[in-house]
Amino acid sequence: MRFQRVCLEGLGFVLPDECVSSAEIERRLAPLYERLRLPEGRLELMTGIRERRVWRPGTLPSVPSVRSAQLALAAADFPPQSVGALIHGSVCRDHLEPATACRVHHRVGLPARCQIFDLSNACLGLLNGMLQVAQMIELGWIQAGLVVGTESSRPLLETTIATLVSDRPFTRQQIKTAVASLTIGSASCAMLLVEESLSRTGNRLTAAAVRAHTEHHQLCHSGADESVAGGMQPWMDTDSDTLLREGIATGRCTFDDFLSAADWDARTIDVSFTHQVTVQHRRQMYESLGLDSERDYSTVEWLGNTGAVALPTTLALGCRHDRLSNPARVALLGIGSGINCVMTALEWRRGQVQEGTESSLADAGR
């Protein structure tokens, strides 16, 4: 698919204050490690993740999402009343109903004629939302739209650790399905997309490619559908080895379609941002795609896997840390369990990003 009239105008993001190191997780798993004679440092060695972040207990996803949306609008100096669509795209949400987008819409002060809904697709929710808003703009339905989400890893981390040190007789093979849950981190991010005539950045979204290899939908799955407000205690079963192998194969197929849609050559991509899973996943993905890993920007080592907000948050951080030249061809390479893949092309000109702190969330209605 191709786009002619869509620009990525502003980015806003918030990171939690509290860090949880892989070493700390292993200390809490000491009874399991001792029983199975596992060496210390195994978690970081396997994943390349030294730490991840968590929100304060009781934080609803909508609260950081409100702040991220406000920051994206402020970065672009764009009026809330001109936003025609709002999509909340993270895995985590306040309640099963109403849509978490409802509270965000209300707190940000968006207009009544703004179309709003939640969109869920594992780690691809925000990228799918980005394409939905882009199509609305391209069709002339709206002139601007917000895509936002917040992932909260504390419930999954706490449930996984508590289950692993319980009386259940886990074997080494059985605990492998829980390792991916120990890589999860928290973050919040929002993207403002506008019709090109309203843009001051000229950051054009030009093309995208998608792929669904759903024969692999059982490789990673949670238990019952739960909301954060409902005291969710999630447990994830993940066949990490097969998910890695088939995910990279899906990415390889999508990348060929992506280059064709963007009319790019892999060698002409200036910088790329991938979904942040593990260091090993990143290395193997780049080898498979024939991309120079030096052109990548990585946050997984200190943020962990922040789900649907991982890629846009990494893009925002890359912009803040001056990793994007002007101009630049930017590839956003997203992949999620299912297995699904979304890749988008950006002709980058100028960054407009604002970063918030967890302490500022009181203003967003904690």
Catalytic positions: 97, 123
Q: 3-class SS at 26? A: helix
Reduced to 3 states (helix: H, G, I; strand: E, B; else coil), residue 281 is helix
Please calculate the CA angle 114-345-111 and round it to the nearest 5 degrees: 10
Cis peptide before 16 (omega within 30 of 0): no
| φ/ψ (deg, to 5) at 90 | -85, 165
What value, to the nearest 5°, has the Cα angle with vertex 272 and ends 340 and 200? 105
CA-CA-CA-CA dihedral for 15, 18, 24, 25, to nearest 10: -60
Q: What's the one-letter identity of residue 207?
A: A
Residue 111 to residue 80: CA distance in whole angstroms: 7
> Residues with Cβ < 8 Å from 170, sequence gap 6 or more?
32, 36, 164
- By three-state DSSP, how is residue 53 classified? strand
Pairing of strands 237-238, 271-274: unpaired
